[in-house]
Amino acid sequence: MFDKEYDVIVVGAGHAGCEAAAAAANMGSKVLLVTMNLQTIGQMSCNPAMGGIAKGQIVREIDALGGYSGIISDKSAIQFKMLNKSKGPAMWSPRTQNDRMRFAEEWRLALESTPNVDFYQEMVSGLIIESGKACGVKTSLGISIKSKSVVLTNGTFLNGLIHIGDKQLGGGRAGEKASTGITEQLVQLGFESGRMKTGTPPRVDGRSLDYTKMIVQPGDLIPEKFSYSNTKSLVNQRDCHMSHTSELVHDLLREGFDRSPMFNGRIKSLGPRYCPSIEDKINRFSDKNSHQLFVEPEGWDTVEVYVNGFSTSLPEDVQFKALRSVVGFENVKFFRPGYAIEYDYFPPIQLKHTLETKLVNNLYFAGQINGTTGYEEAASQGLMAGINAHLKQNEKEDFILKRDEAYIGVLIDDLITKGTEEPYRMFTSRAEYRTLLRQDNADLRLTPKGFQIGLATEDRLKRMEEKQSKSDLFVKFFKDTSVLPDQINPILESVNSSLVKQSDKMFKSFSRPNVTMKHMLQIDTVSDFVAEHNLDREVLEQTEVQVKYSGYIAKEKNNADKLQRLENVKIPANFDYTQLKSLSYEAREKFSKIQPVTISQASRISGVSPSDISVLLVFLGR
């Protein structure tokens, strides 16, 4: 069946696998996507939503580079919100509520219409490795398939174990079997593996809920979208709702604590700290007598509803009884109970910046297998692994994004430099240059790079160049054009800013706190300029950020450039740290294990002190 050798075999068709396959194929590699169930391509295992704080920026970055997650999210969105709009632009984070079934369907359509992608449904049970190189995979039916590289994106499936109360079932996700064989082989080869856990809430029948008792959570009045391409913004949206737990609900849940795998020691591994289960919240925040629940529709045409905030692995009867005491849920019917899952992961310090493993050449890991959590984190790693697998086979330079270029750069650098012992999710606080890494400028930052490596299309590049030149022109207009006191004072008065007596450049008035683009558009010369040059929402947003935050952006850029000097001091490969006796013991051990490639990366390793860096600098200087 498989007489040809593929360039890239991608194992798993979750968020990481789909992006990896699409990227490598679109760049010209012959790709085989092997997955356990072709029915679950692009399946959202947990909440039917994409983006959110810092994650929305990642989706924009994937899109800017030429990945598909933004397009798929737009096509399957049922609600759009720009989170944190009241804060500075570095914090603005797009989020969509999605139709779970349509999301998966769109992924399958996108992959089926990508030339160079073949599909095969089977469980990969091992890798073919020759002379330290990954050369293909073996399936559970005994088929061998050859390839020049392999990308593993097994998600939560490696020796997955599902917990509901005192019941345990082998499985990678509810209703799907676990993947066996790969961990065992990799450990034999010398890889280190660990266990993590995650959990999901019950899904319920929306017809059994009383929404009149809940608070409506509508989408944005003017919904935006993720993709910089020509996808459409939503015209209609579905509402979400909000309810909350109570002391009674907590008491009912506590009745099941003795059967909770979380508390009776059956679950040993660490879960996502920032996505705790409801029992964990009750336990850890015992002073709180209520927790918010977000009631999220699963799609346009389904009555199924996702109860965000009620993730649990308590016995199903306990989940059900407690949920019936939540306001609006008095007559709730269950579709599926919540559960927790434990799975194997591989500490990511075993990877290079390209996501290729240090131990086996041409073998890449991406997604939850690297200890991350979240669709966006997974998708972005898949994209980078797919790109790099293709580039390496074609003897081209590695594609690495720096920490001041993309959240994706921060994510991968954190993973491979610091490792992670609990599921890693992205936050804006993890990025030291978040003023540079905004959702509004991901295309300006990354589309030229995506185009250069042969992934982003020319059409994307042209759109980005047009946006750049139009916003430059608009910024220049504000710098060059004066505004009369009569024109600007009503605006200044409305935002309680001191009035002006003489005409001044618009840039200066616009820079004042609380003066927004909406205000400036009230001035005829500004709105005429917008109409004359046909400036769209993206250009207006970009211009506003450039005018109002130019000082902060310049300062951060300057800091990033200064630190770049350390990024340029390379450390030779396989450097022998044991010869540097003046390094601390911890630094020597960690440097030897992680093998940082630059002084800057070495300085980010936890436990490394400034004096260790000085020792390295002195030695390398010598």
User: Burial of 270 by CB count in 10 Å (0-12 exposed, 13-18 middle, 19+ buried)?
Assistant: middle
> Judged by CB under 6 A, does residue 30 bind ligand FAD?
no
Distance CA 419, CA 442 (A): 26
Specify the residue, 366 or 446, whose C-beta has the smaller distance to ligand FAD: 366
Distance CA 18, CA 42 (A): 7
> Judged by CB under 6 A, does residue 198 bind ligand FAD?
yes
Query: Residues 149, 179, 312, 441: which binds ligand FAD (CB under 6 A)?
Result: 179
Q: Residue 141: how many CB atoms within 10 A of its CB? A: 8
Sign of the CA dihedral 283, 285, 291, 297?
negative
* Binding window for ligand FAD (CB under 6 A); candidates: 40-48, 293-301, 347-355, 452-460: 40-48
Distance CA 41, CA 20 (A): 13
Specify the residue, 202 or 596, whose C-beta has the smaller distance to ligand FAD: 202
Sign of the CA dihedral 63, 66, 67, 72?
positive
Distance CA 99, CA 79 (A): 9
Query: Residues 56, 136, 309, 367: which binds ligand FAD (CB under 6 A)?
Result: 367
Query: Residues 16, 129, 391, 597: which binds ligand FAD (CB under 6 A)?
Result: 16
Report phi then psi at 602, rounded to 5.
Answer: -60, -40
Query: Residues 10, 11, 322, 488: which binds ligand FAD (CB under 6 A)?
Result: 11
State the minimum distance, in angstroms, from the CB of residue 378 to ligand FAD.
Answer: 3
Distance CA 509, CA 492 (A): 8
Specify the residue, 95 or 445, whose C-beta has the smaller distance to ligand FAD: 95
State the minimum distance, in angstroms, from the CB of residue 482 to ligand FAD.
Answer: 50
> Judged by CB under 6 A, does residue 31 bind ligand FAD?
no
Q: 313: which 2 tokens?
A: 């692995």
Residues 199-218 that bind ligand FAD (CB under 6 A): 199-200
> Judged by CB under 6 A, does residue 157 bind ligand FAD?
yes
Report phi then psi at 619, rounded to 5.
Answer: -65, -45
What's the Cα-to-Cα distance from 34 to each of 21, 115, 152, 251, 284, rounded to whole Å? Answer: 10, 16, 10, 46, 41
Beta-sheet strands, E only, within 399-490 = 482-483
What's the Cα-to-Cα distance from 407 to each of 373, 414, 461, 497, rounded to whole Å? Answer: 15, 10, 20, 36
Q: 442: which 2 tokens?
A: 């991901």
Specify the residue, 346 or 478, whose C-beta has the smaller distance to ligand FAD: 346
> Judged by CB under 6 A, does residue 156 bind ligand FAD?
yes
* Binding window for ligand FAD (CB under 6 A); candidates: 151-159, 229-237, 247-255, 541-549: 151-159
Q: 440: which 2 tokens?
A: 């509004």
Distance CA 515, CA 504 (A): 15
Distance CA 450, CA 256 (A): 51
State the minimum distance, in angstroms, from the CB of residue 52 to ligand FAD.
Answer: 9
State the minimum distance, in angstroms, from the CB of residue 573 to ligand FAD.
Answer: 29
Residues 492-531 that bind ligand FAD (CB under 6 A): none
Query: Residues 30, 60, 173, 390: which binds ligand FAD (CB under 6 A)?
Result: 173
Query: Residues 101, 123, 360, 483: which binds ligand FAD (CB under 6 A)?
Result: 123
> Judged by CB under 6 A, does residue 76 bind ligand FAD?
no
> Judged by CB under 6 A, does residue 111 bind ligand FAD?
no
> Judged by CB under 6 A, does residue 388 bind ligand FAD?
no
State the minimum distance, in angstroms, from the CB of residue 509 to ligand FAD.
Answer: 43
Specify the residue, 64 or 127, whose C-beta has the smaller distance to ligand FAD: 127
Given a contact cutoff of 8 angstroms between Cβ atoms, the answer to whether 425 and 276 are in contact is: no
Please, how many CA atoms are within 13 Å of residue 191, restricted to the half-sphere of its CB? 26
Would you give the DSSP letter of residue 208?
G
Query: Residues 51, 56, 315, 374: which binds ligand FAD (CB under 6 A)?
Result: 374
State the minimum distance, in angstroms, from the CB of residue 272 to ligand FAD.
Answer: 6
Interface contacts to ligand FAD, rule CB under 6 A: 11-17, 34-37, 40, 45-46, 123-124, 153-157, 172-173, 179, 182, 198-200, 272, 275, 341, 367-368, 373-375, 378, 425
